[in-house]
Amino acid sequence: MNTSSAKIGYARTSTTDQNLDAQITALKAAGCGMVRTEQKSGASLEGRPELKTILDFIHPGETLVVTRIDRLARSLSDLQVIVAALKGKGAHLAATEQPVDTSNATGKAFFDMLGVFAEFETNLRRERQAEGIAAAKLRGVYRGRTAKIDMAALQVKLAKGLSPTEIARDMGVSRGTVYKAKALM
């Protein structure tokens, strides 16, 4: 792990029922002079003010330290956004329980491999889901989600001569949806 500069720890749990103590202890043992904590879902970068503060104020040469990458982000795209923000500031990312340290070539390579495998897993899951949907359609048990927009009601209003803008405003839909209903008439 990068030992040359300041280390800022970030500990996160998804709910307030979970305990942050083990993460905080590990981060302090790794040399973090400051540890910021949150008890928020990692499903999104939104609504995580402590992480935003770190990303806003981290300095060149400093390292953001987490115990595991999943404490930082749950998706590859969010993780890439965080790493890009750190890189843009000249800062690094390290994990205490995984060989990730973007301040050296080996850590960067391992981080990139994690990303490749995470994306591969996501693609496999999508393929399995598509296969399951196709099999369900063949059995006649898959119908897809229920329509949220009543296309017949849109078409009735169009037939009455209302403008697409009026219909969209009245029904809370986009004009594109109204034009789609018009094309189906």
Secondary-structure breakdown of the chain: helix, strand, coil percentages, each rounded to the nearest 5:
50, 10, 35
Q: Which residue shows structure tokens 């405003």? A: 169
Q: Extract the runs of DSSP E, i.e. beta strands, from the chain.
A: 7-13, 34-39, 63-66, 92-95
Question: In this structure, are residues 76 and 122 in contact, taking their beta carbons and an 8 Å threshold?
Answer: yes
Residue 14 appears among annotated catalytic residues: yes
What is the distance between the alpha carbons of residues 45 and 115, in angstroms, rounded to a whole number?
17
Task: Read off the DSSP letter of residue 80.
Answer: H
What is the distance between the alpha carbons of residues 77 and 67, in angstroms, rounded to a whole number?
19
Among the options 5, 14, 41, 103, which is catalytic? 14
Residues known to be catalytic = 14
